[in-house]
Amino acid sequence: MNTFMEWRALLHACRTRTAGLLRELDDSIMPLRCVFCGTATEGPERRICSGCRGDLPWMENACARCGAAIAVDLPRGVHCAACQARPPPVLAMVVPLRYEFPVDAGLKALKFGRRLQYAPAFGELLLAEMARLPADIDALLPVPLHWRRQAFRGFNQARELCRPLARHCALPIMTGVSRRRPTPFQSGLAATQRRKNLRRAFLVRKTSGFQHVLIVDDVVTTGETTRQLATALIRGGVKKVSVLAVARAV
């Protein structure tokens, strides 16, 4: 077991080093530019410049269980009133940004305009938030799209957000989970209607023995999608589920 773990760590280190060298070569030929303002980025800046990063609508205080905005920072282990009234099936939820301009415009451009350059930019923001999550996460799960919607869109934006996390954290992207029916778009719907639309929407065929799965998504509105997906995972045998998303509606 120790030999296997050492071999895996060495392989990951080699891949990381190779990726870094290729990235430096690529940057020297074609420097990266900020996805929001177009300024050439330097040093630790990659796809979002320091000026735009500082101007993003960061979530100041949020419930550690559901990621919802709250007025004051709660003590560790204390959750918001909504979580106390209806505890979610997730252990933790980290959502660093509010769904406001320019984040909302960037995510819409990614999903509906096929502006895929936003995916690695937002993925890098999510990577910086991984330290706030439990350390025993052993797999990533992008929120599944129904196969017809994914075929029409050409990609799953949640899976694109997972790529830098999987690469830098050496975590597998979980398969064997699907959306069994084409639920309508959730935007503009009341919480009760969202709940009805998503009930039993996800099918877990296999969990591959993963114990703590991290659901990755672009936007959390009421949290009903992640609630239903987490419930399906737990029914399928996963012990713990956490959530990481780019933005939350407030």
Least confident of 6-10, 40-44, 70-74, 211-215: 6-10
pLDDT at 119 over 80: yes
Question: Taking the chain, what is the end-to-end CA distance rounded to the nearest angstrom?
Answer: 46
Specify the range with the lowest mean pLDDT, choosing from 19-33, 60-74, 153-167, 199-213.
19-33
Of the candidates 123, 109, 132, the one whose C-alpha atom is nearest the C-alpha of residue 158 is 123
pTM, whole model, 2 decimals? 0.83
- Give the residue with greater pLDDT, 200 vs 250: 250
In this prediction, residue 22 carries a pLDDT of: 56
The continuous run of DSSP H or E covering 47 comes out as none
Q: pLDDT tier at 76 (50, 70, 90 boundaries)?
A: confident
The average confidence (pLDDT) of the chain is 87
Angle of CA points 175, 87, 232, to nearest 5°? 25
Residue 231 or 8, more confident: 231
State the pLDDT at residue 197.
Answer: 65
216 token code pair: 């990755």
Q: Is the pLDDT of residue 21 over 60?
A: no
Higher-confidence residue of 39 and 91: namely 91
Contacts of 247 (CB under 8 A, 6+ apart): 95, 96, 97, 98, 99, 100, 103, 104, 107, 218, 219, 220
Q: Which CATH class is domain 60-248?
A: alpha beta
Cα–Cα distance for residue pair 111/157, rounded to 1 Å: 6
Higher-pLDDT residue of 115 and 9 is 115
Per residue, the 3-state secondary structure of 59-108, as one string, reads CCCECCCCCCECCCCCCCCCCCHHHHHCCCCCCEEECCEECCCCHHHHHH
